[in-house]
Amino acid sequence: MTMVKNNSLPKTPSGVSGLDEITTGGFPKGRPVLICGSAGCGKTLFAMQFLVKGITEYNEPGVFMSFEESASDLGKNVRSLGFDLEQLKSENKLRIDHVHIERSEIEETGEYDLEGLFIRLGYAIDAIGAKRVVLDTIESLFIGMDNLSILRSEIRRLFRFLKDKGVTAVITGERGENSLTRQGLEEYVSDCVILLDFRVIDQIATRRLRVVKYRGSTHGTNEYPFIIDESGISVIPVTSLKLDYESPTDVISYGLSDLDSLFTLNGLYRGSSTLITGTAGTSKTILASYFAMASYKRNEPVLYFSFEESPEQLLRNMDSIGLNLRPAVEAGLLHIHASRPSLQGLEMHLLLLHKLMSELRPKTVIIDPISSLITIGSSSEVRGMLVRLMDTLKTNQINALFTSLTHNNDNVHSDPTVDAVSSLADNWINVRNENRKGTRERSLLVVKARGMGHFNGKKEFAISNKGFKFKEDNL
């Protein structure tokens, strides 16, 4: 709650990792929040996490009123996320009330109200001193009922009741055809509305979240991807709102003295990002591996995303040029993560990267090649993702290196993958192969290096079993 500024709305942490950054502090304290989305988008889980984290992390007891699932079903469904509802119930921190309505038994015989619901809710809140309440999904009440106007006015009264009780309430609602919720709950809950979405694009499923409305508070307006895994829901606020990261001035070695010598400061700035472009077989992976090795030599952890080679294959291939990465792996400093780019959506890769970054705290991140990711998304999506990725790496002052496969030896600028990354990268090295008199000549060119001078000519090099070396008779 340190983020709450003067004069701004008091807020309560949502318990959903990443969401509080988007909403600058969490949910509006003591007010209802509407979470809406279509079936299976994670509403119940979202609500449950708000409640459980409220108890375990902020010591705020909570009441879960379920209009759909029974208490035992709920318990089973969230057990896989490590939420032990029975334990919390026995500690008197959590109450689950299953509102079970048998439609076939009900006859409407005149005017009625929802006082029974109010009393149950009030009783449960008072019994454990609840600060948080979930109503999941209150719209179930409307199913099969004739007199909807009574229900509407009662729901309105219910939200007032919740405000009077001073509890922060999460109300879930099923997405309607023309409105956010079937019964137009968004008209009653005017303070904070969050929309969850579950989409399949090109056979890849992505969950997204958007803050539709947040009265009296600034919030990020983008769609943010979120994942549900064994630790619950996490939202990654991938675009930080400002460009205010620090720029370190110390210089690190690339890991190859030859390469370092091309830069006036004899290396690269710490926390800068480097792009290596080239056609197939121009030794991009080799250059990336040297960069990984340099991090190991500095005794700094490095995370290597390999989208084309398995860790074992990478190690073997680097062995063949005398670059032994195994000690780095054994020391736990080099973590190679290999996966197929098409296995998950772009955002999922990004989330995974975030997760691994927060677990391993690497000082260097290598993505080899980033062009594999680019091929699985539309270009605007990819660019957005790369901006967010660069942002994250910059904010954490992580040295980044991306390789990118290009198809045109001469005009790399026209390559869409390069176009997406090159303007974001601080340093850009292009490697190429040329057929000259029947032999293949390898060369590299530093295209740019932000904030320092660099050698402008082409440098020829060779790769042997002793590794990378500039040719003596360089032009």
Partner 1 sequence: MKNKDTVRVISEDKLVLQLYVSGMSPKSMEAIENIKRLSEEHLAGAFELEIIDIYKHPEVAAEQHIIFSPSLIKQLPLPRKTLIGTLADTEKVVKALGIQFNGS
Residues binding partner 1 (CB under 8 A)? 97, 99-102, 105-117, 119-120, 122-124, 141
Q: How far is CA 319 from CA 280, 286, 325, 335, in A?
A: 20, 11, 8, 17
Catalytic residue among 68, 86, 154, 187: 68
Minimum CB distance to partner 1 smaller for 122 or for 416: 122
Minimum CB distance to partner 1 smaller for 70 or for 423: 70
Which residues fall within 8 angstroms of residue 263, CB to CB, at 6 or more apart?
A: 446, 449, 452, 453, 454, 455
The answer to whether residue 308 is catalytic is: yes
CB of 98 to partner 1, least distance (A): 8
CB of 96 to partner 1, least distance (A): 11
Q: DSSP letter at 407? A: S
Q: In residues, how long is the chain?
A: 475
CA 105 to chain centroid: 46
CA distance 374 to 376: 5
Is 234 in contact with 386 (CB distance < 8 Å)? Answer: no
Minimum CB distance to partner 1 smaller for 129 or for 216: 129
Q: Is 299 left (phi over 0), alpha (psi -120 to 50) or beta?
A: left
CB of 32 to partner 1, least distance (A): 18
β-pair type (223-229, 232-235): antiparallel
Is 433 in contact with 445 (CB distance < 8 Å)? Answer: no
CA distance 428 to 447: 5
Q: How far is CA 229 from CA 47, 72, 389, 392, in A?
A: 15, 21, 21, 21
Minimum CB distance to partner 1 smaller for 117 or for 262: 117
Minimum CB distance to partner 1 smaller for 144 or for 451: 144
Minimum CB distance to partner 1 smaller for 5 or for 112: 112
Query: Which secondary structure element, helix H or strand E, spans residue 441, and what is its range?
Result: strand 439-449
Query: Which secondary structure element, helix H or strand E, spans residue 319, and what is its range?
Result: helix 311-319
CB of 112 to partner 1, least distance (A): 4
Minimum CB distance to partner 1 smaller for 169 or for 294: 169
Minimum CB distance to partner 1 smaller for 101 or for 201: 101
CA distance 328 to 291: 12
**Which residues are 210's β-sheet partners?**
195, 223
CB of 160 to partner 1, least distance (A): 17
The answer to whether residue 312 is catalytic is: no
CA distance 55 to 94: 8
CB of 151 to partner 1, least distance (A): 10
CA distance 42 to 473: 63
SS3 state at 31: coil
Catalytic residue among 154, 308, 309, 460: 308
Which residues fall within 8 angstroms of residue 124, CB to CB, at 6 or more apart?
A: 63, 65, 95, 97, 130
CB of 147 to partner 1, least distance (A): 8
Minimum CB distance to partner 1 smaller for 25 or for 61: 61
CB of 55 to partner 1, least distance (A): 20
Query: Which secondary structure element, helix H or strand E, spans residue 224, and what is its range?
Result: strand 223-229
Q: Which tokens hold the place of 415?
A: 């390559």
Instruction: Report the chain's C-alpha Rg in angstroms.
Output: 28
CA distance 391 to 451: 18
Residues marked active site are found at 68, 308
